[in-house]
Amino acid sequence: MSEKEVAAKSERLTAVKGMNDVLPPDSAAVEWLEGRVRSLMARYAYRNIRTPIVERTPLFVRGLGEVTDIVEKEMYSFEDRLNGDPLTLRPEATAGVVRAVVEHSMLYDGGKRLYYMGPMFRHERPQRGRYRQFDQIGAEALGFSGAEVDAELILLAVALWKDLGLTDVRLELNSLGQPQERLLHRQALIAHFERHIDALDEDARRRLHSNPLRILDTKNPAMQAVVESAPRPLDYLGAASLAHFNALKTILDANDVAYTVNPRLVRGMDYYNLTVFEFTTDRLGSQGTVCAGGRYDYLVEQLGGKPAPAVGWALGVDRVLELVREQGLGAVEPTLDAYAIVPDVSALPLVLQTLQALRAAGVSVQMHASSGDGMGSMKSQFKRADSSGARYALIFGADEISKNRVTVKSLRDGSGAQATQALADIADWAPTLQLRT
């Protein structure tokens, strides 16, 4: 082995920068959120879709637009080693969902309501609320053109915030109009920025003719004035687009959903038209957008399907959970009903058999297991039982076992009360161990 190889071998292997391990107990919070989302999606009749994490690169180039942050600089792209196919780790899921919907002709018998959860990959500068692998949860309604579905999706998100206990989330809305209107706005926008070319930064100048709308989305404070005075998409809406926007606002008003119209709100991807929206919070510093979405009526056709309207949103799991923590909510320690104390290894076959029956009856039990130097003393086993958080200890001592019984000792109510139970009657006493049924 060369010196270099030796060094490489002894070097500690670590996770890729910006890609985080989610360890217990933090992972419980993610599971908790996913559980709340599943239950809510079922009530809104949205069904789960699972698409691959790797897609062909042209899907994103065509779907998201060439002059977007994601396609220009954030994609993890590589060639398939065997056949050279250009592939990309998905930076977002809408393009993949639309690809799947088209590929499987899912709209042949009407619109579909879908949701997904899973990891996305973007090569960004890692910081609070911004990672290179991050989870998103998203909802998409395809095949529906009316503002009532825009409203349904927004109400679904609002219901989720309520369900999670979040209060400091604001809704911002805008309408980008239809392609013809966007074109007129775009011309006015280019003219405006050309008049103020000195006020534009390098990024904006580069985008001036390829994607001027995105200049409105700049995070450069020095450009705020030129952006503030720029023509607004709202001023270019025709009657039908205005009617769509007003219908949405009427439904939100009727449901007491507070919102502000933000005429500067545009979205990172090219595929949006009409409604765009974001849920933001002040509690997370500069990464304050927790959920974002809008209408994308032309994406299905652009990706090769029969024209079909669509609308959806995606939320950032990390940011939502940070907000949950920030508001002191969702402390979701998993609970354990019992801890099995096993003084002697000879009891193990019976212990495992008994625990199997208890778990089948719905009881959560952690088994004491040996750690190199045997099962350990009773004292150390009780210590483990205590720190496990279990409400009961199950003691499989020689005495108990000889009578086909187990001692159940209360660990949490201070009484230390204990009783021996017959192994033959598990079904009778198992329910008394359960915190939740």
Name which position in 111, 119, 268, 397 contacts ligand ATP (CB under 6 A).
Answer: 268
Stretch that binds ligand ATP, among 41-49, 123-131, 184-192, 392-400 (CB under 6 A): 123-131
Cα distance between residue 215 and residue 369, in whole Å: 60
- Candidates 54-62, 167-175, 286-294, 409-417: pick the segment binding ligand ATP (CB under 6 A): 286-294
Shortest separation between residue 260's beta carbon and ligand ATP, angstroms = 17
Q: Which is nearer to ligand ATP, 124 or 203 (CB)?
A: 124
User: Applying CB under 6 A, does 142 fall inside the site for ligand ATP?
Assistant: no
259 versus 382: smaller Cβ distance to ligand ATP: 259
CB 409 within 8 A of CB 416: yes
Q: What angle do CA 392, 395, 398 make, to 5 degrees?
A: 170
Q: Tokens 């966007």 map to which residue? A: 182
From residue 262, how far is each of 29, 63, 194, 228 by CA, in Å? 32, 25, 24, 11
Q: Which of 96, 231, 316, 376 binds ligand ATP (CB under 6 A)?
A: 316
Interacting residues with ligand ATP between 356 and 385 (CB under 6 A):
none
Q: Say whether residue 393 binds ligand ATP (CB under 6 A).
A: no
Q: What is the nearest approach in angstroms of ligand ATP to the Cβ of residue 16?
A: 14
Query: Minimum CB separation from ligand ATP for residue 33, in Å?
Result: 13
The three state secondary structure string of the chain is CCHHHHHHHHCCCCCCCCCCCCCCCHHHHHHHHHHHHHHHHHHCCCEECCCCCEEEHHHHHHHHCCCCHHHHHHCEEEECCCCCCEEEECCCCHHHHHHHHHHCCCCCCCCEEEEEEEEEECCCCCECCECCEEEEEEEEEECCCCHHHHHHHHHHHHHHHHHHCCCCCEEEEEECCCHHHHHHHHHHHHHHHHHCHHHCCHHHHHHCCCCHHHHHHCCCHHHHHHHHCCCCHHHHCCHHHHHHHHHHHHHHHHCCCCCEECCCCCCCCCCCEEEEEEEECCCCCCCCEEEEEEECCCHHHHCCCCCCCEEEEEEEHHHHHHHHHHCCCCCCCCCCCEEEECCCHHHHHHHHHHHHHHHHCCCCEEECCCCCCCCCCHHHHHHHHHHHCCCEEEECCHHHHHCCEEEEEECCCCCCCEEEEEHHHHHHHHHHHCCCC
| 292: contact with ligand ATP by CB under 6 A | yes
| Interaction between residue 272 and ligand ATP (CB under 6 A) | no
Which residue, 181 or 318, has its beta carbon nearer to ligand ATP? 318
CA distance 434 to 420: 17
Applying CB under 6 A, does 290 fall inside the site for ligand ATP?
A: yes
Nearer to ligand ATP, 123 or 359 (CB): 123
Site string for ligand ATP, 80-119 (x = CB under 6 A): ------------x---------------------------
| Under rule CB under 6 A, residue 283 binds ligand ATP | no
State yes or no: residue 314 binds ligand ATP (CB under 6 A). Answer: yes
Q: Which is nearer to ligand ATP, 102 or 317 (CB)?
A: 317
Q: Which of 68, 136, 273, 354 binds ligand ATP (CB under 6 A)?
A: 136
Min dist CB 292 to ligand ATP, Å, is: 4
Closer CB to ligand ATP, residue 27 or residue 346?
Answer: 27
The strands making up 273-280's β-sheet, listed across from edge to edge, are 47-48, 112-121, 133-142, 310-316, 289-295, 273-280, 170-175, 260-261
**One of 116, 134, 298, 396 touching ligand ATP (CB under 6 A):** 134
Question: Using the rule CB under 6 A, is 130 a contact of ligand ATP?
Answer: yes
393 residue type, one letter: A
Q: Is 137 in the site for ligand ATP (CB under 6 A)?
A: no
Select from 224-232, 294-302, 316-324, 371-379 the region that touches ligand ATP (CB under 6 A). 316-324
Nearest residue to ligand ATP on Cβ basis: 316
| Cα distances (angstroms) measured from residue 352 to each of 1, 373, 396, 399 | 47, 20, 11, 18
Closer residue to ligand ATP (CB): 324 or 347: 324
CB of 169 to ligand ATP, least distance (A): 11
Please choose, out of 126-134, 161-169, 203-211, 232-240, the segment that lies near ligand ATP by the rule CB under 6 A: 126-134
Exactly one of 289, 407, 410, 434 binds ligand ATP (CB under 6 A); which one?
Answer: 289
Among 90, 122, 244, 295, binds ligand ATP (CB under 6 A): 122
The residue (of 49 and 433) whose beta carbon lies closer to ligand ATP is 49
User: Applying CB under 6 A, which residues contact ligand ATP?
Assistant: 92, 122, 124, 129-131, 134, 136, 268, 287, 289-292, 314-316, 318-319
